[in-house]
Amino acid sequence: MIRRLSELLDREERGRLRRALLGTAVSAALQGAAFALLVPLLRVLLDGGRPERAWPWVAALAAVAVAHAVVTYPSVVAARNTGYALSRSLHDRLGSRLVRLPLGWFSGGRVGTVGRLVTYDVMNVMSVPAHLLEPLVRATVTPVCMVLVMLVADPRLGLAALACAPVIVLVHRVTGRLVQRAEHAADAAAAEAGARVVEFAREQPVLRAYGRTARGVREVDDALVAQRRAGRRMIRVALPGLAGFALTVQAAFVLLLLLGTHLAVGGTVDAPALLALLVLAARSAEPLSSAAELGAALRMAGNSVDRLQKVFDTPPLPEPDTPERIRDSSVRLERVSFGYGDEPVLRDFSLTVPPGTTTALVGPSGSGKTTVTRLVARFFDVWEGTVRVGGADVRRLAQQELMSRLTLVFQDVHLFDGTLEENIRLGRPGAGEAEVREAARRARVDEIAARLPDGLRTRVGEGGALLSGGERQRVSIARALLKDAPIVLLDEATASLDTENEAAVLEALEALTADRTVLVIAHRLETVRGADRIVFLRGGRVAESGSHDELLARKGPYAAFWSERERARGWRMRAVPQSEDERGRSCTTSS
């Protein structure tokens, strides 16, 4: 465990950990020496002789106690500082690693897993040097010192104590392994429960719209029940093991007591020496009893190290040693194949978006439209083929260089729990106040700010909960305007907005996409008529491409898709009367 822990520390922290371990070991040995001095001291005091002969032993005991205090203080401070430094280092490393992992890693129950990593697991690991090593070393070194003293004072009792050691070690190891396995299951259940609770809180609008209460959410209930069962299972496994270990330690002490009594009755050991040795045996039992709990905690910390190391070992998207430079704002995919599992989503896919043009991706759900934009932004690396931005393979670009040239605006907008201004400034943190306000004006966020008590300095709540969907989208576009990147990847953001917000967002998008290279995923076909080129995807391939009029004239897949959408739109128009006469006729008919 110490070796694995050292791998998580830098050179300075490893040196501090070694000093803490050495100091703790010396401190524990001094504590053992202090108790060893009780043997001659008690002999002098209890043999009926002159008490003044005890003063040298008292002086030696006092000297050892002072030395113990002098050694203990710096070792404890070093151990605590190592723990705090380890916590800071782990959080830094986790943050650096998470931002470099492929987006595909953040799926399923990863939200709960990451939450457990940065809280429970980091705290577990930092507690090893800060809180566990010192008592664990004492629980090991002090009893060893006392057994050595017993071997010197009375070899028979010392050998008896030594014979009990393998049994105690065996029970300790078995207990630790049982706790380790049970804790793995409990942690997995806790991570799953955490992910389900976060999902439950995040999806409250949908759940309430359909009348689903907490009692009725099966996924949350099942996850919490599984967590409770896993916790109980760990307790059922741990408690018998801990109790069995304590019983083994006490049984060993009773055996020593019986042996000592037998030797005293037989006259082969004097009573003062027996009393002193039994005091040592009793004092050894105390730290040994706590060793089981400390060992279980150490095993759980080892599990935490494994989980953290698994994240650190997950390969990030590789960065080139000699990165290329972006020459223009073109986007090109060349014979790309890629998927999220075993089945490919894109198959031999090629696409070219010339600089300063707008290309719209159209197609049925699952055809690979969103995947194309994710590959351009290098959220994943392709299986086969090449993705080029500005003429350079994205795998040969520094991530910072690539992202500085891209602006991403998607339907699922996330705002941080800060002010409107802070969320806009995320696009370019170094921007001046005038630039932030200009971006807000162009995205019509200033209209939102005018209705709020603190204007742009109004907090938007977690995830932007205090704003509507259209308002959140306007903030994200203001953020993109402030960034002012030459390439825009746009997952059309108006598909589910009301008329007022749709008009505002479309106006903001017009400002965002002017004179830029735009790759837009189109959900509402009416909005792509003006695109320079429309690419229709089907089954992960380009079925056809061209302008709107050209594709309609061909009467191919795009024309059929367009006709189907037009029929659906006409049905909606008939289903929702627009004029008063239509509403009146509808009411008359229904009556």
Residue 118 per-residue DSSP state: I
For a pLDDT cut of 70, what percent of the chain falls above it?
81
CATH code 3.90.1300.10 for 331-565:
no
Tell me how far apart the alpha carbons of residues 453 and 451 are, in angstroms, rounded to a whole number: 7
Residues of the chain with CATH 3.40.50.300: 331-565
Rounded Cα gap, residues 183 and 222, in angstroms:
19
Q: What is the pLDDT of residues 170-206, one digit of tens each?
A: 887 777 777 766 766 776 777 677 767 766 766 666 5
pLDDT (tens digit per residue) in 9-53: 777 777 878 888 888 888 888 887 887 787 777 777 776 667 777
Q: Which amino acid is at 372?
A: V
Q: What is the mean pLDDT of residues 490-512?
A: 68
Burial class (CB in 10 A: 0-12, 13-18, 19+), 163: exposed
pLDDT of 245 over the 80 cut = no
Q: Around Cβ 65, how many Cβ atoms within 10 Å? A: 15
Model confidence, pTM:
0.63
Give the per-residue pLDDT at 584: 41
Could you please state the CATH topology (level 3) that the domain comprising 2-313 is classified under.
ABC transporter transmembrane region fold (1.20.1560)
Mean pLDDT of the chain: 79
Q: Which one-letter amino acid corresponds to residue 332?
A: R
DSSP 246-311: HHHHHHHHHHHHHHHHHHHHTTSS-HHHHHHHHHHHHHHHHHHHHHHHHHHHHHHHHHHHHHHHHH
Residue ranges matching CATH 1.20.1560.10 in the chain: 2-313
Q: 158 falls in which pLDDT band (50, 70, 90)?
A: confident
